[in-house]
Structure formats: structure tokens, C-alpha cells
Amino acid sequence: MRIIDLSHPISPDMPLWPGTPQPKFSDLCTIGRDGFGERWLQLSSHTGTHLDAPAHLVEGAASLDGLPANHFAGKGVMLDLREIQNGPVSLARLLTSRARIEQAEFLLLHSGWSRFWGSDEYSRGYPVLSPDAAAWLAGLGLKGIGIDAPSFDPADSEALPIHRALLGAGLVLIENLTALGQLSGSSFLFSALPLPIAGAEACPVRAVALLLRQQ
């Protein structure tokens, strides 16, 4: 079985959504001084490749510790949307792959936007789902949706309607994925396990795809 890492590494100088504080790492103990290593980590719950739980935007909805571990793993399908350069991803575009999407537990949207990771362009102009596309996906019973872009809503959105439609249906959302092109033509299991932090609305994850076979 081949495992594909779909995550960006976390470091103090990594790219972040505007306004998100930079991660800070410091040594509590070192092998040379104390005989063992231990680090103090400070970072936003939305740092890097991360997973949003319904509690991110829905009052009283499930937080990370309130969801079972099997909610973060399942059969994945990758949809290649790199041909969409402007405008939202329409419902009509999704319906061209309806049979594949309806067989999945996780849908991964390959926009190609991860190529801009580390540049100012990454945080603006990325493709998002149209409202009717999001509404259709919200009714399929998926566990979650992932994208290789920084958000499911436009950068200037304050109401965050796409987030709300999907999180309100109980899905989890994985943002800032990378390397989705390596999944082309493959059957795979997807996993994005967060720490079960009490009351947490989001958490960085090590998202991976476990390739089963070529289609």
C-alpha cells in the first residue's frame, strides 16, 4: 500500500491566512541539558493543512472531541477541477462526476491552487463551490470535503455561506491540502485525524491518502 502525504509542513515561517499568528516553538527540555527533548508549541487551530469541525460556525454543533474517530477517515474521491479558472464550481460541473461522488465518503477538490502556496496570490482568487453545488453536496451524507486552497468561501466573505451549508450538514472541512494530483486515476482511502481537543472547532492534521489500486 502506498501512502501519499497531502499536508503542508508546519514551521514558524510558513504561509498563513492573513491575520493568523505565526506558529512559535520553544524548548522546554533538551537532551543535552535535561536528558530528553520536550517542546512548547503555540499555533492557531487553523494553521496549515487543518480540519474544521461543525462547531467552527454552528452554535452547539459537534467539536472535534465530540466526533468519533471514524468520522475522519473513509473512501475518498478526487475531482480534478483545474480547468476552472474563474468563477465558482457549478452544480452542473459536479454532476458530470455524480456517480463517483455519490460512492465516496470524502470528496477532495483538486483546484491546482496549491501551486501558489507561499505567495500572496494563494490567499485570493481561488475557486470555491457555488451555493447550489454546496447544497447538493451537503445532502449526500458525505463525511467531509477537502480542497487544495485556503478556504471554501471567497477571501472577502463575511457570512461564509459555503462553510455554513457544509458544516451545518455535519461535514468536516479540510483546507490547505496539497499533492492532490498524485491521486489521479487511483482508488484510495482518505484520513485526516485531528487531536481530540475538548471543545475544539478545528485542528491541524496530517492528511494522507492510502492508495488501493489504479482505476
CA distances from 85 to 48, 81, 156 (A): 24, 9, 18
Q: CB-side exposure of 214: number of CA atoms within 13 Å?
A: 1
Contacting residues for 2 by C-beta, under 8 A, at least 6 apart:
210, 211
As given in the structure block, the three cell numbers for residue 155 are 477571501
Return the DSSP state at 112.
Answer: S
CB 198 within 8 A of CB 45: no
Catalytic (active site) residue 56: yes
Strand 73-80 relative to strand 106-110, pairing: parallel
**Marked catalytic residue, from 56, 71, 110, 163:** 56
User: Catalytic residues, which ones?
Assistant: 56
